[in-house]
Amino acid sequence: MPDLARRAALAREVRESAAGGHRMTIEVSVLERHGWWRMSVPALPCIQTDANSRGEIEPAVRQAIAAALQVPGHMFDLHFRIEG
């Protein structure tokens, strides 16, 4: 599925879940390299962001997902998978 169609479908799913009183969970892959953290979203290959501390991981990736899907960041939950 092309990236734009994938984003639109996921955004629709997030909105529909929120309208039903639920929050969809989006999986995030996290890789630590030399003090930097790289986050990617398997469901949205266009999203990749970095953080320089563990405390910055969640806000950075939530903001990136919300911007890509054009939905408020409180409409979805995140599940982090630490790699490496």
What is the full DSSP assignment across 1-70?
Answer: --HHHHHHHHHHHHHHHHHTT--EEEEEEEEEETTEEEEEETTEEEEEEEESSGGGHHHHHHHHHHHHHT
In this prediction the pTM is 0.92
* Structure confidence by residue, pLDDT tens digits, 21-62: 999 999 999 999 998 999 999 999 889 999 999 999 999 999
Across the chain, mean pLDDT equals 94
Task: Classify domain 3-83 by CATH number.
Answer: 3.30.2390
DSSP category for residue 84:
-
- CA dist 44 and 14 (Å) reads 13
